[in-house]
Amino acid sequence: MISIKSIRRFISYGEYSYYTHALTEAKKDGVEPEDIVFVLFTGKIIERYPERDRVLVYGEMPNKVPLHVVCDYSDEDMLYITTVYIPSGDEWSHNSQRRKRR
């Protein structure tokens, strides 16, 4: 299991990489790589997917827009940012930090 502190260490040492999908989705939402890094330094883990070695990090970009960042920690030497998106109010509640019940 990974902690937010470990994620920040990966980012600090430049031991991270973006999936093409993450950069494509970020661009669609007007999110810059610097915004993603900012969220990983200031956000928190809100969901864990241990079966896939992934976590969902929530934070706010410098412009105060919420952002979700999914990180893959299956490689002990590298953190992979698999996707990023601005959470939808249709699916998320409580300041984009809790998934709505269906």
Write the pLDDT tens digit of every residue in 16-71: 999 999 999 999 999 999 999 999 999 999 999 999 999 999 999 999 999 999 99
pLDDT at residue 101 in the model: 58
- pLDDT at 92 > cutoff 60: no
Q: What is the pTM of this model?
A: 0.89
DSSP at 87: P
Confirm whether 94 is domain-assigned.
no
Confirm whether 98 is domain-assigned.
no
Confirm whether 57 is domain-assigned.
yes
Report how far apart the first and last C-alpha atoms of the chain are (Å, whole number): 28
pLDDT at residue 66 in the model: 95
Confirm whether 92 is domain-assigned.
no
